[in-house]
Amino acid sequence: MSEEILNKVAQSAIVSIDLEDYYPRQETVLFDLKPYLFMEQILREKDFRASLQTIDWSSYQDKIVAVTCTVDAIIPAWAFMLIASYLQPIATAVVMGDERTALQRTFLDRIASIDAAAFTDKRVVVKGCGDLDIGSVAYMEITKLLRPVVKSIMYGEPCSTVPVYKRK
């Protein structure tokens, strides 16, 4: 009386997405404008431009760079544009803010780059547990991205899911 054991999960048409696959693995570093200001308070254009030309920008190669100023100084918009012009060709991402903001923004950009059309009329499970604390915002963003095209969205593991959305 040997019955064949069927893996119904494997046979189902459920597609699983693991958001950890989109989590940035690159190092996140801070670029602080403070040391490039006169007396660490005032931006003098000529000195600022000259100091940026002396930086070894290759140290930011393939990193996520958070650009900020840790002192209360008036920084013109063009200064951030200038920094971005140096960093953009070599860094993985350049984000205004602290390291946490840069990491989260990069992560959300990667989620936004997912081709939602590939999930058209599919039942999708967004993997719910893993080694990284990816945050609720990522789950919200993947839901917003997929909801217009999928049949359903579930949270968890294919063998044990929580229904989130089902097209009627």
Encode pLDDT of 55-93 as tens digits: 999 999 999 999 999 999 989 999 999 999 999 999 999
**Is residue 87 located within the same domain as residue 118?**
no
**Is residue 43 located within the same domain as residue 20?**
no
Domain of 120 in residue numbering reads as 8-24+114-166
If one counts the domains in the chain, the total is 2
**Is residue 18 located within the same domain as residue 44?**
no
Residue 83 lies in a domain: yes
Spell out the per-residue pLDDT of the chain, length 168, in tens: 567 665 454 545 899 999 999 999 999 999 999 999 988 888 999 999 999 999 999 999 999 999 999 999 989 999 999 999 999 999 999 999 999 999 999 999 999 999 999 999 999 999 988 888 888 999 999 999 999 999 999 999 877 889 999 998
Q: The tokens of 119 are what? A: 């999930």
> Which residue from 128, 135, 133 is spatially nearest to 155, judged by alpha carbons?
128
Residue 39 lies in a domain: yes
Residue 44 lies in a domain: yes
**Is residue 18 located within the same domain as residue 37?**
no
Question: pTM for the complete prediction?
Answer: 0.82
